[in-house]
Chains A and B, each alone.
Chain A
Amino acid sequence: MNSQFQALGLPASPELTDDQVRAAWRRVAAATHPDRGDGGDPAAFAAAAAAYTLLRTPAGRREALAELSQPTDGIASGHPVLGSKNQLVRYAVSMAWRIRGGRPLRLAARFVGVTAVGVLAVAAVGLQPASYALIVGALTWLAVTGRIDLAPSRPVSRRGSQRRRRL
């Protein structure tokens, strides 16, 4: 969305006025119009026209700025942009992001606790049914209670999905 501002050579600032945007549009349109003697730059002209359509009103500029500030964009927020078709890799990457965005220290403490229970159980009685059971019990506890320390998985909004396709 920053490209909308870039297309008109403007900063992404909430202080922009209608006159500034119109002046920028005039400047870019005069320099890139396809009717120029040198053929202009149709691509830049089209991008500037699309940008001006959005940014010409205060409401449009607010929308564009709000879009910029949103962390739904994978690159801006650190959320992984997934291109792999492999579901396992997809899940692992997503989980890594959720751990990083959640409370990793608490998760680590839980993991250490579960490991300690397993090690102590095996050290105390060896590989017996009771030690197996305790390890399973500790892992169940980790799975049930550890979820709250993960960051919520972000739903892909319709704008987000469009943007990822574009990326």
Chain B
Amino acid sequence: MTVAAGMTLLAALPVTLVAVVSFAIAWRRGWQPGRLYRGAAWCLPMIAVWLAAIAITSRSLMLTAESPYLAWLGMWRHGVAGAYLAAAVLIAPAAIPAGLLAGGFAWSLRISSMATRAGGRSPGSAIAFDQRQWRHQVRSATARIAAPGSVPLLTAHGDFVAGAVIRAVGHPARLLTRLPAERLRSHQLVLGGTGTGKTTLLLRLWAAFMAIGLRRHAAGIAGPPLVVVLDCKGGADARRIADRSRRILRESGARNVAVWPDEARLSLWALPPKQLISTLVDLIEHGTGGAAYYTDVMEAVVALAINAPCGPPTSTADFLTRLDPGWLCLAYSAGGLDDQLALARSAGRQVPDVALRFRTLFRRLGPGLDGPGSFADADAWYCILEGTAEVTVAEAQARALVDLLASYIGSAPGSPHDPASRRQVLLAVDEFSAVSRRLPIWQLFERARSLGLAVQVSAQSWHGLARTDDERYRLAATAEGGIWLLRTPHPEPVIALAGQRAVVDSTRQLTGWLRWRRAGTSRVHDTHVADPALIRGLDVGQSAYIYRGGATFTQVKRLVAGPPALTQVPHPAGYEALSDQPDEPTRADVGRPAALPDVSAFLTEAFGPPVSPATRRGGR
């Protein structure tokens, strides 16, 4: 450092002090230089008040223009006299913004010199600097999400906020990870192992989709939102997550959340006949080659049962009743249906086998698909498939649910050409690997755009995403809304999809043990946008959002819902005595209604069918 530079720094001591302090804070907290520049910009009101006050008190434009210089002189005068506080106050309005700018500039130089490996005292300095900065950035992001008001679910403009930014590569360096609402309405992929915070991220994404959808619906832009979650792992943990999802989605505005099959049902028999045949045949596992013959026979029998002149079946029992040679022959013997009658007769020997297979299938599937109910009944559906315990059953259920959803979207109220009346649907398939064998979700991907459906697939690892690499790449490449990557052991394929960026790498001459010369060479080379080692080392709640050749590392903010337990709700007075005293019911404290509701169905359910006066007389 030359003497002149030293003198300058000394002369501008307040600016130097602010710059040093801001540089140290930025280093300590892992800030980007832009943070210091923004701080300088926020000093503008202070400068404006300072200059305005000087202009008013001095009534001289010249004095106002000279005020920084005069403040500097005043600062030294007070400093020499020992009035350090007065000196600091006098120079502060000019020194703070200037110091922040200088500190930001020095910090950006330091970052770029370390990024190009041209700085530091030893060959490993750049690596140590990067690792230390990562720790600092993580600490800052964690502190930011801990603040209650720092990370809202949505911004005022309707953007989704996932959490606090740890580090951004190829994306704008902001404090918060903000995604435009359109990204949530596109296909997304979430990869992360168990215990990495995947569920926390998914819940936030679902809640945001619901909140954004309701805003758009309220504005008349689109129909009401519908979130359908297929939890393909199942088990007790799925019930716990379902309960948490319900409370979080209700906080986001969902009126009701149905948990399938525990609390709500859907009706497979609501599918159009053609789709029903295809779905029913696909629910039964069948082979190729020689086994294809039996598949053809089964399809013919199912088609006969469903396309019977009396209309398609309305329940499982109805369908199974039809899988009988006698019933089929009788149904098609009405005349004019000779071909179908001949087919029913020729397939007569196979029908009992087909019936046996379907009887077994429906027994294993349970009553969840036997209705009544449809996706229109709730704003969100949490479907639990026992993919860990019963893989084949889960696969069949997933296939049926996806077909039902596609059919529902296709037939939902609203014109397909009018986006304002079309429902906004998110299909989230959690632990997709459990059902990926027989759920052709990429078929949905391809036609989802026209249906207004966003598909979100999550898996524990790249290899768990699908059976073959072709299918995995097909899923990943069509994730137009971006890829969320949490800690996973093999992130390379996804990182390769994210692309590369050009970086400058400098070499310097080593003249001795840890002694480098300033002279050297630089070269430009390509490196991955997201560092695989960094992905492998992500902590709980940290994720990398990969989108359009950039990656944003995020500390995801956990959504907190209402308490799950309701045991604190007190029993109403007299509850204990109710069973013993049927003549003393508790009366609700409500106002008198305008008209009594029609409760005849409920009365029948409780007391049995009404007895007509004639019957009553006869009884007497």
Q: Which residues of B contact A151 (CB under 8 A)?
A: 148-149
Count CB-based A-B contacts (< 8 Å): 217
Using known A-B contacts A70-B250, A72-B251, A140-B45, determine if residue A31 contacts B585 with beta carbons closer than 8 Å.
yes
> Please, what's the 1-or-0 string for B255-272, where 1 marks a CB less than 8 Å from any CB in chain A?
111110011100000000
Q: How far is the CB of A133 from chain B (nearest CB, A)?
A: 3
Q: Which residues of B contact A50 (CB under 8 A)?
A: 597
Q: Is A3 an interface residue (CB 8 A)?
A: yes
Q: Which residues of A contact B606 (CB under 8 A)?
A: 22, 25-26, 29
Q: Is B24 an interface residue (CB 8 A)?
A: no
Q: In the complex, which residues 573-620 of chain B have their Cβ closer than 8 Å to any Cβ of chain A?
A: 574-575, 578, 582-593, 596-597, 599, 602-603, 605-607
Q: Which residues of B contact A58 (CB under 8 A)?
A: 262-263
Using known A-B contacts A130-B50, A130-B89, determine if residue A43 contacts B45 with beta carbons closer than 8 Å.
no
The complex places the Cα of A149 from the Cα of B150 at a distance, in Å, of 7
Interface of A is mostly: helix
- In the complex formed, the residue of B with least CB distance to A14 is B566
Query: Among B51, B148, B572, which residue has its beta carbon within 8 angstroms of that of A101?
Result: B148
Q: Is A82 an interface residue (CB 8 A)?
A: no
- In the complex formed, the residue of B with least CB distance to A72 is B251
Q: Is A71 an interface residue (CB 8 A)?
A: yes
Pairwise interchain contact B71-A47, C-beta atoms closer than 8 A: no
Q: Is A46 an interface residue (CB 8 A)?
A: yes
Pairwise interchain contact B85-A136, C-beta atoms closer than 8 A: no
Using known A-B contacts A10-B575, A46-B593, A58-B262, determine if residue A148 contacts B50 with beta carbons closer than 8 Å.
no
The complex places the Cα of A146 from the Cα of B38 at a distance, in Å, of 16
Query: Among B150, B586, B602, which residue has its beta carbon within 8 angstroms of that of A53?
Result: B602
- In the complex formed, the residue of B with least CB distance to A102 is B148
Pairwise interchain contact B593-A9, C-beta atoms closer than 8 A: no
Q: Is B46 an interface residue (CB 8 A)?
A: yes
Q: In the complex, which residues 133-167 of chain A have their Cβ closer than 8 Å to any Cβ of chain B?
A: 133-134, 136-137, 140-141, 144, 147-152, 155, 157-159
- In the complex formed, the residue of A with least CB distance to B57 is A129
Q: Which residues of A contact B562 (CB under 8 A)?
A: 66, 69-71
The complex places the Cα of A147 from the Cα of B251 at a distance, in Å, of 22
Query: B-contacting residues of A (Cβ < 8 Å)?
Result: 2-3, 5-14, 22, 24-32, 34, 41-53, 56-59, 62-63, 65-72, 98, 101-103, 120-121, 123-125, 128-134, 136-137, 140-141, 144, 147-152, 155, 157-159
Query: A-contacting residues of B (Cβ < 8 Å)?
Result: 42-43, 45-47, 49-51, 53-54, 57, 67, 71, 83, 85-86, 88-93, 96, 144, 147-150, 152, 211, 214, 246-247, 250-251, 253, 255-259, 262-264, 562-567, 569-572, 574-575, 578, 582-593, 596-597, 599, 602-603, 605-607
